[in-house]
Amino acid sequence: MTADTLTPPSRTVVAVAQFAPGMDKAANLDALRSLAVEAAAQGAKVVVAPEYSMYTAPRTDERLIDTAEDLDGTFGSGLAAIAADLGIFLVAGMNERLRNVSRISNTLVAMSPGGELVAIYRKVHLYDAFGYLESAVIEPGEIDEPQTFSCEGLTFGLQTCYDLRFPEVTRRIVDAGADVLLLPAQWVPGPLKEDHWTTLIRARAIENTMYIAAADQSARGGAGASMIVDPMGVVLCSLGEQVGVASARVSSSRIDEVRQKNPALALRRFTVIER
C-alpha cells in the first residue's frame, strides 16, 4: 500500500446561484442571500453568483460609476456577512470604485467562511463586442498572478464572463494551481450566444482538465444556463433559464483520473506570454 492510497481524495460541493440582479442593491443582496441559504442547505461549501451581482443597469453607462463601492463597502460587507453566517465561500461580481472617477473595475470578490476577503479578480478582457462597449466605463484589470483560495483540499480560481472567449486566461489560472474555475457572468442573450456559452465552458474544462462552475444572470440581463462541468467536459448540473441554485460534488480523484487519460497539460509545448 502506497502513501497515495492512504490519502483520501479532496472533495467538496460547489453551487452556482442564478438570478437577475437589478438596480436595487439591497434587493440584489437579499436575493443572493436567499440563494446562498438554499445552496448551503444542499451542502455547498463554495457558492458562485453572477457578474454584476451588486448592480445591473439596462445599459453599460455612467450609472455603474455612480453606484460603485469600495470592496469593503455596503455590498462587500454584506457578502462577507452572508459567507460568515452560512459558513461558506461566496464569490460574486461588483462594480468597484477606483481612484479614476471616470472608470470602475468589474471586480469579483471571494469571501471566506470567516467573513474575510480571500481573493479578487478584476476583469481583464472587456466586452467591446456584439454591439456593446464595456470599456466606456470599465477599466481593464491588471495582468497579475492569478489569485486562488482553497476549500477542503481543492484550489479555486476566478475569471469573468467575456474572458471565457480567451483561452489564455483559463490556462494561466490552471497553471496557478486551480482545480476549479469559478466563472461569474452576465452573458448577454443573442443569436447563438447560449450555444457559444455552453461550448466555450466545456472547451475550457476539457483543454485544462479542470472543473468549471459558471454562474450567469437569468433573463432579461443574461442567457441563463448556469452550469458545473467536470474535467472531461461532462455537464454535471445546469439551471436552464430559471432563477435558482444547482450544485455538484467536485473531487481531486476525478481530476487525477482525467489527467491520467488525457495528460494534455503535461504534454503541451507552449506557454502563455502577456501581449
- Residue 116 a catalytic site member: no
Q: How many residues does the chain have?
A: 275
Task: Note if 51 is an active site residue.
Answer: yes
DSSP H helices, 93-231, are 167-175, 193-208
Q: Which of the following is catalytic: 96, 123, 134, 151?
A: 123
Burial 181-199 (b: 16+ CB within 10 A, else e): bbbbbbbbbeeeebebbbe
- At a CB cut-off of 8 Å and minimum separation 6, what does 81 contact? 115
Residue 89 forms beta bridges with which residues?
46
Active-site residue, selected from the candidate residues 45, 51, 134, 151: 51
Which amino acid makes up residue 165?
Answer: R
For residues 163 and 125, the answer to whether their CB atoms sit within 8 Å is: yes
Residues paired with residue 18 on neighbouring β-strands, in sequence order:
244
Q: Which of 25, 69, 139, 161 is catalytic?
A: 161
Beta strands (DSSP E) in the chain are 11-18, 46-48, 89-97, 104-111, 117-122, 148-151, 154-158, 180-185, 211-216, 227-229, 235-238, 244-251
Q: Which amino acid is at 162?
A: Y
151 is catalytic: no
As annotated, the active-site residues are 51, 123, 161
